[in-house]
Chains A and B, each alone.
Chain A
Amino acid sequence: MAKITFVEHDGKEHSFEVENGLSVMEGAVKNMVPGIDADCGGACACATCMVYIEPEWAAKLPAVDSQEETMLSFSDHATSESRLACQIKVSAAVEGLRVKMPKSQH
C-alpha cells in the first residue's frame, strides 16, 4: 500500500491508499478521481492518463521508456514533468506520491 495524492487541475486534492502492484492510473480509476481517462486501460497506447509529477519525485520513479516518452511527446498538455500514470507501479517506494492532473486529457 502507498498513499497517493491526486490533485485536480483546480487544486482539489484526493488522497487514497493504493494497493501494491496496481498502477497509479488504476488507483485513480478505482477511486473515481476525475481527470484521468485511461482509454486504453493501461496498454500505453492512448496517452489519456497523463499526469504531472513534482520534480522531487521524478527521480525516484522508474525511468520513462521510449514508448511512454513518445506517447507523451504527442500529448497536448504534456510538459517535462509529465508521466503516463498507467506506467507507474505502486509500491512502498511511491509512498506519499503527489500527481497533478491536466485540465483535460484531449
Chain B
Amino acid sequence: MEDIVIVGAGHAAGQAVASLRADGFTGPIRLIGDEPYLPYQRPPLSKKFLSGELDVERVYFKPPAFYEQAQVDVRLGLSVTGIDRAGHRLLTDKGEAIPYGKLILATGSRVRRLSIPGSDLVGIHYLRSIHDVEAMRAEFRPGARLVVVGGGYIGLEVAAVAAKLGLSVTVIEAADRVLARVTAPVISAFYQRVHGEEGVQIRTGLGVAGFTGVSRVEGVEVAGGEVIPADVVVVGVGILANVELAVEAGLRVEDGIVVDEFCRTDDPDILAIGDCTRHPNGIYGRTLRLESVHNALEQAKTASATLTGSLKAYVQVPWFWSDQFDLKLQIAGLSQGHDTIVVRGNPEEGRSFAVFYLKGGVLIAVDAVNRPMEFLTARQLIATHAEIAPARLADETINMKQIAG
C-alpha cells in the first residue's frame, strides 16, 4: 500500500489522520509539522486559552496516544522546503529527503505582518499559534494599555478577553466600521455598542501609520499624527494562505492551492486541504478559500475518502463561530453578493438577534447572535437554495422551524 505523507500538522492534518484510519487505510502515514506541537485547535487561542481557562493539553485536537495508536510517524519541528514531484520526495530544512506515495498539503495560513515604521518593536504581537499566545499573555497584566490593530473577529475576541482580564483596551480599525469585510453594518454597529458597554474603546476610520518606542513599543501612531499610548499591541489584519511550496512545485495556485471537489490538485498524487486551498463550492457555484475549522475538518474527510477509493464530493454550507463576552455569534453561508438584508430581533437593545442575507430572494447567509435556532434553520435552508419572503424572516411571531412556509 502506498504511503501517505501529510505536510503541516494543524487541524486539517489531525482530522486527515483520524479519517484515514477510520476509512480503513492501513498503510504508513507520516505527519510533518514545523511547529513543536501536535495538531491543536486554534479557535481557543483568541478565547479560552488566551484567558487562561484552558491549558495547552486541552487545546490539542487529539491526545498524544492517538498518534501512537494510529501508528503515525510524527515529525514535529521540521519544515518542508520543497516538493520534488518527479522523484516523489520532499526536501526539508534539515537536509533530509522524505519519499511519499501520496501527498496531502495541509499547510494552512499565516498572519499578514505589517511592515511600517516601528513594526519590529518588542511588545507587538500577532496571533496564530500557541507560541504567540504565550508571548502575549505574559504581557497581559491588569491595567496595561492594549491597542488592538484590526477590528476583525480575532482582534475583537482578543479585545474581549483582555478587557475581562482588566486591561485597558482600544481597538483601531481602518475601515469605517469593525467586521467590515465580513458582515452587514447592523452587525458592526452592534459589536461596537457591546464592546463599548464592556469598556473597550473602538475607534474606526483610523489607519495605522507606525509604532513609537525605543526598543519596546510605547504607542501606536495613527493617520493624522495622533499617538495612542500602548504597553502592548496585538495586530490582526488578515491572513495569507501558505501556498509557496505548491507554487514552487508548479501546482496550480490562485490565492489558495487549487483543488477539485475531491481535494485533488492538478497532480494526481497530491491533495490539499484546509485554509491553504481554493476549492469549488457547489452550493455557491464558485470557488472559495475559507478560514474555518469546519472547512478544515470536512476537506480532511473528503481527502481521506478520495485516497481510500470512495469519492465523496465536498458540498458544504460554510459555517463559523465567534465568542466575545456573553455573545455567541454563529455564521452560516457567505453573504457576498447579497441584495437584501433582513433583521430578526432588535440589535439596538439586548444581545440576541439574527441577520439574514438574501440574493434574488434566495437565502445565502445568516449571522446569528445568541440565536442558535436561526443559525441552524438557516444553515439547512441555505443548502437547499430556499426562497423565503423577507417579511416572514423578520416576523418573530413565526417560529423559525416554520419559516420556510
B233 to chain A, nearest CB (A): 27
- B63: contacting residue among A29, A43, A73, CB under 8 A: A29
- Inter-chain contact B373/A32, CB cutoff 8 Å: no
CB-based contact B297/A43 at 8 Å: no
Partner of A44, one of B58, B65, B328: B328
B313-325 vs A, CB cutoff 8 Å, 1 = contact: the mask equals 0000000010100
Secondary structure of the B side of the interface? helix
Bin chain A's interface residue count.
10 to 19
Contact yes or no, A67 B372, CB < 8 A: yes
Interface residues of A in 55-105 (CB under 8 A from B): 66-67, 70-71, 73-74
Complex contact A39–B63 (CB within 8 A): no
Residues of B contacting A71 with CB < 8 Å?
372, 376
B62 close to A43 (CB less than 8 A): no
Query: Chain A's nearest CB lies how many Å from the CB of B279?
Result: 18
A22 at interface (Cβ–Cβ under 8 A)? yes
Contact B43–A43 (Cβ < 8 Å): yes
A70 and B371 CA atoms in complex are apart in Å by 9
A40 touches B372 (CB 8 A): no
Cβ–Cβ contact B44 & A40, under 8 A: no
Give the docked Cα–Cα distance between A72 and B328 (Å): 16
Contacts of A22 on B, CB cut-off 8 Å? 58
Nearest-CB distance from B154 to chain A (Å)? 15
Contact A45 B370 (CB under 8 A): no
Q: Is A12 an interface residue (CB 8 A)?
A: no
Known contacts A32-B65, A67-B328; A39/B297 CB under 8 A: yes
Instruction: Report B378 CB to chain A, min CB distance, Å.
Output: 11
Residues of chain B from 321 to 358 with CB closer than 8 A to chain A in the complex? 321, 323, 328, 330
B43 touches A70 (CB 8 A): no
- Is B372's CB under 8 angstroms from A39's CB? no
What 1/0 mask marks residues of chain B from 41 to 73 whose CB sits below 8 Å from any chain A CB? 101100100000000001100110110010000
Residues of chain A within 8 A (CB-CB) of B293 are: 39-41
A31 to B65, CA, bound (A): 9
Separation of A39 and B292 alpha carbons in the complex (Å): 11
Describe A's contact surface by its main secondary structure.
loop
A32, B62: Cβ atoms closer than 8 Å: yes
Please report the C-alpha to C-alpha distance between residue A43 and residue B58 in the assembled complex, in whole angstroms: 13
A44 to B257 alpha-carbon distance, docked (Å): 31
Query: Which B residues are CB-close (under 8 A) to A70?
Result: 372-373, 376
In the complex, which residues of chain B have a beta carbon less than 8 angstroms from the beta carbon of A46? 294
Q: Are A41 and B328 in contact (CB under 8 A)?
A: no
- Bound together, the chains give a CA A26 to CA B65 distance in angstroms of 14
Q: By the criterion CB–CB under 8 Å, are A32 and B294 in contact?
A: no
Within 8 A of A (CB), among B72-91: none
Question: Which B residues lie within 8 Å of A30 (CB)?
Answer: 63
Which of B41, B66, B328 is within 8 Å of A45, CB to CB? B328
The residues of B that contact A73 with a CB separation of less than 8 Å are 373, 376
Bound CA–CA A22/B63 (angstroms) = 14
Q: Once the chains bind, are A43 and B376 in contact (CB under 8 Å)? A: no
- Chain A residues with CB under 8 Å of B69's CB are 32
- Find out whether the CB atom of B370 lies under 8 angstroms from the CB atom of A26: no
A44–B328 Cα distance when bound, in Å, is 9
Asked if residues A26 and B58 are in contact (CB atoms below 8 Å), the reply is yes
- Given known contacts A30-B63, A32-B66, A67-B328, A40 and B58 CB-to-CB distance under 8 angstroms: no
A29 contacts across to B, CB distance below 8 A: 62-63
Provide the residues of chain A in CB contact with B44, threshold 8 Å: 41
Q: Are B41 and A41 in contact (CB-based, < 8 A)? A: yes
Which 3 A-B residue pairs are closest in the complex by CB-CB distance?
A70-B372, A74-B376, A45-B321
List 10 A-B residue pairs with CB atoms under 8 Å apart, sorted by A's residue number: A22-B58, A26-B58, A32-B69, A40-B43, A41-B43, A41-B59, A46-B294, A67-B328, A67-B370, A70-B373
The residues of A with any CB-CB pair to B shorter than 8 Å are: 22, 26, 29-32, 39-41, 43-46, 66-67, 70-71, 73-74
Known pairs A70-B376, A71-B376; list 15 more (Cβ under 8 Å).
Answer: A22-B58, A30-B63, A32-B62, A32-B66, A40-B43, A40-B321, A41-B41, A43-B328, A45-B330, A46-B294, A66-B372, A67-B370, A67-B372, A70-B372, A74-B376
Task: List residues of B whose CB falls within 8 A of some A CB.
Answer: 41, 43-44, 47, 58-59, 62-63, 65-66, 69, 293-294, 297, 321, 323, 328, 330, 370, 372-373, 376-377, 380
